[in-house]
Structures are given as structure tokens and as C-alpha cells.
Structure 1
Amino acid sequence: MADVLPEGAPESRGTRSPGGASTHLPEQVRRDLVHRLRRNKRAFRQDDVQVVERPLLRRAVGASALGNCMEWFDFGVYSYLAATIGKVFFPGASPAAQLISSFATFAAAFVVRPLGGLVFGPLGDRLGRQKVLATTMIMMAVGTFAIGLIPGYATIGVAAPILLLVARMVQGFSTGGEYGGATTFVAEYSPDRRRGYLSSWLDFGTFVGYALGSALVTGLNLALTDDQMLDWGWRIPFLIAGPLGVIGLYMRLKLEESPAFQQQLDAHEQSVAQASAGSEFRTIVTRHGKALLICTGLVLLYNVTNYMVTGFLPTYLTQTLHRSSGFADTLVLVGMVWIVLLITFIGRLSDRVGRRPVYGVAAAAMIILAVPAFLLIRSGATWPPVLGVLVLSTLLAGFAAPSAATLPALFPTAVRYAAMGIGFNFAVAAFGGTTPLVTEALVEVTGNDMVPAYYLMAAGAIGLLTVRFLPESAQVPLNGSPPMVGSDTERRELIATSGRLYRASRDASSARR
């Protein structure tokens, strides 16, 4: 039996709410709804539809976004201070070697991210999302705070870069459970119609954190001399992570588990989850291999662009193009503020037009606009580089906004956290976190300062190919989750709609017989 209603069926073009107003039902929503009704062999009842309480939803989104904000506060600080950190921890090397060593330490955190995903992901599926997210918050704050306390090479010698590497790896390990868990948590809390908009607040937190970090470093560079920055000024942003971590931990400890996770903890689902815990990685790879590949392609697209703009561009402007650090810092900060202004609007747009069109248009635009954007950035004037950064930032917002809603929808509830931990972190480690290091090395080897643009074009081509295989998930319930709505009125409308769709489907089947 087909999963959609036959052409001409009464509900094929829309539905009417209980109040009589016509409500368009998107095709993918109608398809999913009819499939669920035929599988259940009845229309929805009240217990079949989950209403999300607004206070719980606000706390879930806010606490998750704060974690992302804190993570990217650190990454923004580290990216902007890469040259300074190179001088503090690798003083005997040439400027180019200092920079590459600093970026190598930056990339080291991404090497252990997959390990963090392999550890925290299954724990999140078995013990709960909230407990694991509280743990990752503690580890992240400790790792970041520790960097601000490490003596420089001049004080303790080779132990300094070793301790820096250890602190970065603690950060990377905790981050392996952070983004996948936060996206899973918010996606499972969000009403289906607004998942793109609400999930986009996670990456809103990401870029607010980066903007705050970069703004702080910019302020310090303007207020302090070079010697003061090298001596003690660079430590201030890292030490601020301690109080931020306490606030974030408090907020996360106040959270309740997501409705989808609570629902799966009946006796049958719990026994299945426990039985497969030891072989969860193999289960995910064998049963959800296609979804993992799609996840990898989208994460590559997003994070190559992300780390090119946030991690590499500040140093590219100062070290390769020889612009002032104040100009470089301000330019990238403008881009981050622009993303913050755009991202929730694009998230809302993805709810209306779908995730695939948003990704597809942005990926195609990346292929076309990467070279022009870098030609503008290379200009010796003031305003063309601003325009170039705004172009890249707009494309980055197009990839970031739908990601937190799209990626969790690829996997069922029972393995969602673990699958996200694997797919997201392996892709970020392989392609995202290495972007500043690889791009800087390629520019050094080739002497061609347009290499970053070609790198982005390749990412855009891979992303465009991935979108071709991406299933549309806008407004559709998550795999393994009940339909989620934001109010009792929406629940009544959905139950009434399901009744009409079920009767129409049943009547059409009887007519064919």
C-alpha cells in the first residue's frame, strides 16, 4: 500500500482546522502522517501527540545554547590569539612555524573529539541527555580555565606546550559529547513545526560566543601593549571561562530529560538499548550507514566554511595579507555579528521551505562566490574586504541555521546521541578542525593566497552532492518520536486532521478493492 493518499483524495491538498480555517499541509508532512496512521491502523488519540511545555522548552534551548556559546567563546579566543599563543609557547620557532604549531595544537582538540563522541554518545542514549551534557560542561570549563593558568615556555620550558596540548585535548574530549548532545536535546524538545527555528538558537549561541571572544580579544589588543598581551593579557579570556562554566552547569542541572528520551524508556526499549550497548558503534554503522554519510557531508560543508571564517581568516588577514590585527579582528567580528542577525531567520525559513532548499542554494552559492569573496578580501582597500567577509558569513549562516534540526532527524531516538557523536565528530575532526592547519600549510607550500577559496569550492561541491540524498525533515516528527506540538490547540488540530486523513485513506483503499 502506498504511503501517500491517492490523487484526488479529499485531503490531498490541505486540511481544515477545527475552527474551519484552511491550513496547507506540506507534502512531506502529509506523507509522514499518513504513513504513521496506516502503521497504527487508527487516527491519533490525545496520548499519541506530545505537547511541549513552554517553560521547559525555553530552559532546554537556553541551557543548550549557553553551552555552545561557551565552547565557541574559547575557540574564538584561541583563533584570534593564535599568533600570540605561538610566541608564548613556541618562542624558538620562526613566525610561520609558530603559527603552524599553534594551529596544530588547535587541531589536536579535534583529534580526540571522535573519542569523546564514542564515550559520551552511548552514555547519552542510555543514561540520559541531561546528565551527559552537565558533565561535558564541567570538562569544557576546566580545560579552558586551565589554559589561562599554564606558564609560558620561558618559565617551564617544553612542559608548557605539552600542558597546552593536554588542556586542548580535555576540551576536545568534552566537545565530542557537547554539540551532538545539545542538538539532540533541543531537537527532541522542539515542536515539529518550529524545530528549525528553535534549533537554530544553538548555533546562534555558537556565534554569539565567538563574537564575544573576538570582541574581548580586540578590546585587549587596543587597550594593552604588545608586551602586556604576551606577558599576561592573553590569559584573561581563558580565565573568564570558569565563571561561565558555573553558570552553564547550574542551568543544565535544572533541565528535565527530553520527551522523546523519556518515552523510549519503557521496559521493551530499555532492554533493547541495554542489550545493544556493547555493539552500538557496529549497529550504527551497519544499520545507519547512509545516514552517517549524509551527516558527514553536511558537517563537512558547514565546518570547513565555519573554521575557514572563524579559525583561519583572522590569521590569514594579518600573516598572509599583512593587514593590521585591529583591522582583521574588526572585520571578522563584523561577519560574526552578521551571522548572529541572520541565523534564526534562516532557521525559521527552513521550517517553511524545507531544509534541502536552504542547504542546496547555499552550497551552490559557495561554489560560485568563494573566489569573488576572497578577491574582495585580498583588496588593499577597506570596504571590499568587508563585503567579502559578509558574503562568506551569509553562506555560513545558510549552513549553520538548519544543521541542528537536520542532523538529529537522520537517526532514531534509541541511537540518536551516539550516532550524532560518531558522525558529527569524525567529520569535524577530519575536515573542520584541520581546516586552518591544512589551509595555512597549503598557502605556505604553494605561495598561492587563493587556496582558501578553492578549498571552500570543493566543500561546496561535496555539500551539493550530499543534499541530493538528504531526506526532507522539516515539520516532520523525529524518527522514533511522537508528533510534537506547542499547545493544546495544535494537538486538537492534529488529532482532527489525522482523523480526516485516516478516513480518506481507508475510503480510498476500499474503493480500489
Structure 2
Amino acid sequence: MGNFVEWYDFVIYAFLATQIARNFFPQSSPTAGLLSTLAVLGAGFVLRPIGATVCGYLGDRFGRRNVLSGVIISMSTATFLMGVIPSYEVVGVWAPILLLVLRLIQSFSAGGEFGGVTSFLFEHARKDRRGLIGSIQPASMQVAVATSVGLSLAVTAWMSPEMLNTWGWRILFFLALPMGLVGLYIRLGVEETPEFLNAKENAGPDDAEGLSKNPVKEALTQHWKQIIVAALACACWTAGGYVTLLYLPTYFGSVLERPSREGLLISFIGLSVYVVCIPIAGRLSDSFPRWKVMLTGAVATAVVAIPAFHMLSTGSLALGVLAAVLFAITMSLCSGPTTAFLSELVPAKVRNSSNAISYAIANTVFAGFAPFIVTWMIVQSGSVISPAYYLIGAQLLTVLGLVFNTWLVRRPERVPSTLVAADAHD
């Protein structure tokens, strides 16, 4: 629930960009207002690496649960306050300034969420179910995105354009507060992870045997190869998610000049299938080497990329749904095992920091500018299937990282029931 709340809060901004532009920026130029809104959206990636570093350090030093409780408070509060900010007509330039400040707080919180929740799930799971339990993280993330899409569709259909643009959009931001309180209650009610408590108990005077005195420094100096592998492993589904399922409303509305509502609908269906497939992929990685499951997903996504974008480019709703479902199935093989794969790369004392930093790198480098890049590629090439090539590039990076992992990184022993499979990781 907590992870769902975090990502609902973070992505709802993107689906209400048009309404935000009309309320928080001067309307002398609607295009400039929208660009300003998207610039603030992009600022959502600026503080992610900083949030990942700070929260990763705190999570490895003082516990995963405490940090996760803090980030859900900051994220939910910032999102709720976005719905409270007066419009530009009321407070002038303070409206966009306050919006930017709150978006940066969201960014910081999002940076701290991934490392904490992946470590928390992994360390609470049975050894032979770490892939399945770990898949809760990407699955709940996509549930949050699908919920944002669904609610955006609902308010668009229910409200008149005037109602939606003036006050209706704020409702979806107000929901962040009650959802955040529920998520906080749940997080405060669970125990700290056994691995962290064991590390804390075994810590010596210099923390050499238990907790790391400086987990961020240790992760970056002693486990930098693992961080590179982890970041590359995340490229397939971080960039893939932005280029495919999340980009569809813009692709349909701006590129194909079709109703953006059709893109939202296709995105919603694709995300729904994605949510179902992710735990299946996570469970598969408990029976087969995780890197092989992810490699299969990356290769399959690269193979279907061009045919799927050809289907999307027709503007056909049915073919668009088919393309989205194909992407959902193939990318789930990449994202489902991710939590367990990343968490097995490093010891518990630097796990929060390592997972947070690697994911922040992947999002900032491969995903953050993906919508801008693929739109630029379409303009420059004149080809509406150009996003497929960016998507293929991201998959190849993941393939590179996974292959290098087999000899660059010494993997820890997996579980007794999968020792034969685990040997393939070494």
C-alpha cells in the first residue's frame, strides 16, 4: 500500500499536466504554459539521486522501516499541498514557485522509496520466494500508475472541461492525504527486517561486522560494479515503461493527432495486464536464474518493438491494445525479478544505498528524458515508429549489463532449491 501511495502521488502530476498549466502559469501563451508544466515535471528527476543517496544512507544506518515512513509522509503532504496552491491569477508568480518546490520534495521522496522498499521486501521474504515477494514493488508501482490513468479518465468523462480545469483536477491531489495516512499506518505496523536487525546486533565498535559506518561510500567504492550492472538491468523497464505505456497518451494526441483519451485507454489496459504479469515473472525467477528471465524479457521487448509501434502508428484502438499487451508481457519479465536481482548483488549493510542509487541512475539517464528524446526523434526522422529504436537501445543496454554480470560480479549463493540455477549467475 505504501509503495502504491508513493507512486500514485508522483505520477498523477503527469496526467493532469494540461490542467496544471492552465492554473499555475500565465495564459498569454498556452504552449509556453504547457512547456513550463513539463519542465516542472522534468524537475521531478533532479533530486531523485540526492534523495536516493540520503535515504539510502539513512536506511542502511537506522533501518528501512523508519525511512520508508518518513518518505511517505513527505510525498503525501507535498502532493496534497499541490491541490491547495492558489492559481496564478490569485497569487501570481508564487503559484509556479510553490509548485516547483513541492515537486522537488516529491522527487526527493521518490528517490528514497525504491531502495527502501526493495530492501524491505527482499529481507522479509523466504529465500525461495524472494522473486515473487520482491515483485510486489514493481507491481504496486504499476497499480499506482494504472489508478492514476483510470482516475484521470473518470474525471475527464464525468466533469465538463470547465469544471475539470478550474477545480476538479484538485480532487485527485487531495486523495493523497488519506491514502498517505493509510500507508503510514501500515508501515508503522510492520517490523524491521531480520537482516537489518541482525546486522545492527552484530555491529562492532567500528561497525565492520554489521552496519556500515558510511554505506553510500562503501557502496560506491566497493560495489560500483554491482551498481553499474543494476542500473543497466533497470534500463529495460524504466525506459521501456516511459516509451511505451506512459507515453501513449502523448503519442496518440500529439503525434498521431488522435484523441488522447484513446491513448489513455490503451495505456490503462496495457498497465492492467502488466500488473498481472509482473508477479508471474517474479515467481519464474524463483525457479530459474533471474538474469535469464530478465534477459528473455529484454530480448523479447526488442524483437516486438518495431512491429508493436507499427501497430500503434495505425491509430487503430484494437491494434493499439494488442501492442500494449505485447509490451506488458515482455517487459514484465524484466521488471518482475528486479527487486530480488538487485538485492542479491550486494550485502545487507549497503543494500538500501546500492538499490536506491542504481535505480536513480537508471531513471535519470534512461527514463527521465525518454519522452522528450523519442518526440525529437519523430520530428527529426519523420517516422512515427522512431520510439521503437530508443526502446531497442534500452533493451540492448540491459542485455549488456546482464551478460557482464555473469563474469564481472561475484554473486552470492542463492537458495538450496535452486543451487544449480544459481551457478549460472556466477
TM-score strictly above 0.5: yes
Q: 1:431 is matched with which residue: 349, 352, 366? A: 366
Partner residue of 1:315? 250
1:304 equivalenced with 2:239 (yes/no) = yes
Is the CA contact (8 Å cut-off) linking 1:149 and 1:235 kept in structure 2?
Answer: yes
Q: 2:219 is matched with which residue: 258, 281, 284? A: 284
Partner residue of 2:153? 218
Counterpart residue type for residue 345 of structure 1: I
Deviation at 1:82, TM superposition (A): 2.4
Is the CA contact (8 Å cut-off) linking 2:230 and 2:358 kept in structure 1?
Answer: yes
User: Which piece of structure 1 moves more, 339-348 or 157-166?
Assistant: 157-166
Is the CA contact (8 Å cut-off) linking 1:68 and 1:205 kept in structure 2?
Answer: yes
CA distance 1:113–1:367, change in 2 (3 Å): same
Deviation at 1:151, TM superposition (A): 2.1
Partner residue of 2:422? none
Counterpart residue type for residue 374 of structure 1: F
| Secondary structure of 2:192's aligned partner | coil
CA distance 1:476–1:224, change in 2 (3 Å): same
| Secondary structure of 1:311's aligned partner | coil
1:336 equivalenced with 2:277 (yes/no) = no
Q: 1:358 is matched with which residue: 293, 301, 320? A: 293
1:161 equivalenced with 2:132 (yes/no) = no
TM-score by length of 2: 0.91
CA distance 1:308–1:68, change in 2 (3 Å): farther
Is the CA contact (8 Å cut-off) linking 2:270 and 2:324 kept in structure 1?
Answer: yes
TM-score by length of 1: 0.76
Is the CA contact (8 Å cut-off) linking 2:7 and 2:110 kept in structure 1?
Answer: no
Q: Deviations over 1:31-56 (max 9, x none)?
A: xxxxxxxxxxxxxxxxxxxxxxxxxx
Counterpart residue type for residue 462 of structure 1: L
Aligned mates of 1:218, 1:276 — CA distance in 2 = 47
Counterpart residue type for residue 351 of structure 2: R
Aligned mates of 2:28, 2:332 — CA distance in 1 = 37
Partner residue of 2:42? 107
Is the CA contact (8 Å cut-off) linking 1:196 and 1:405 kept in structure 2?
Answer: yes
Aligned mates of 2:404, 2:280 — CA distance in 1 = 25
Is the CA contact (8 Å cut-off) linking 1:264 and 1:270 kept in structure 2?
Answer: no
1:141 equivalenced with 2:46 (yes/no) = no
1:374 equivalenced with 2:309 (yes/no) = yes
User: Which piece of structure 1 moves more, 304-313 or 450-459?
Assistant: 304-313
Partner residue of 1:393? 328
Aligned mates of 2:258, 2:96 — CA distance in 1 = 28
Aligned mates of 1:270, 1:450 — CA distance in 2 = 59
Partner residue of 2:423? none
Aligned mates of 1:249, 1:211 — CA distance in 2 = 22
Deviation at 1:303, TM superposition (A): 0.6
Is the CA contact (8 Å cut-off) linking 1:106 and 1:433 kept in structure 2?
Answer: no
Counterpart residue type for residue 347 of structure 2: P
User: Which piece of structure 1 moves more, 131-140 or 99-108?
Assistant: 99-108
Partner residue of 2:168? 233
Aligned mates of 1:315, 1:373 — CA distance in 2 = 17
Q: CA RMSD in A?
A: 2.6
| Secondary structure of 2:85's aligned partner | coil
Deviation at 1:108, TM superposition (A): 0.9
| Secondary structure of 2:247's aligned partner | helix
Partner residue of 1:464? 399
CA distance 1:276–1:386, change in 2 (3 Å): closer
Partner residue of 1:257? 192
Partner residue of 1:82? 17
Aligned mates of 1:150, 1:260 — CA distance in 2 = 42
Structure of greater Rg: 1
Aligned mates of 1:372, 1:270 — CA distance in 2 = 59
Aligned mates of 1:446, 1:104 — CA distance in 2 = 24
Is the CA contact (8 Å cut-off) linking 2:212 and 2:218 kept in structure 1?
Answer: no
Partner residue of 1:67? 2
Is the CA contact (8 Å cut-off) linking 1:363 and 1:460 kept in structure 2?
Answer: yes
Partner residue of 1:247? 182
Deviation at 1:392, TM superposition (A): 1.7
1:449 equivalenced with 2:402 (yes/no) = no
CA distance 1:259–1:280, change in 2 (3 Å): closer
Aligned mates of 2:248, 2:14 — CA distance in 1 = 9
CA distance 1:346–1:280, change in 2 (3 Å): closer
Is the CA contact (8 Å cut-off) linking 1:100 and 1:440 kept in structure 2?
Answer: no
Partner residue of 2:64? 129
Partner residue of 2:262? 327
Aligned mates of 2:388, 2:104 — CA distance in 1 = 29
CA distance 1:392–1:272, change in 2 (3 Å): same
CA distance 1:458–1:163, change in 2 (3 Å): same
| Secondary structure of 2:244's aligned partner | helix
Partner residue of 1:511? none
Partner residue of 1:414? 349
Q: Which has the higher contact order (CA 8 A, sep 6+)?
A: 1
Deviation at 1:192, TM superposition (A): 1.1
| Secondary structure of 1:151's aligned partner | coil
Deviation at 1:277, TM superposition (A): 5.9
Partner residue of 1:52? none
CA distance 1:91–1:390, change in 2 (3 Å): farther
CA distance 1:121–1:459, change in 2 (3 Å): same
Is the CA contact (8 Å cut-off) linking 1:76 and 1:311 kept in structure 2?
Answer: no
Aligned mates of 1:219, 1:463 — CA distance in 2 = 36
Q: 1:187 is matched with which residue: 117, 122, 130? A: 122
Aligned length: 417
Deviation at 1:439, TM superposition (A): 2.9
CA distance 1:277–1:414, change in 2 (3 Å): closer
Deviation at 1:354, TM superposition (A): 1.9
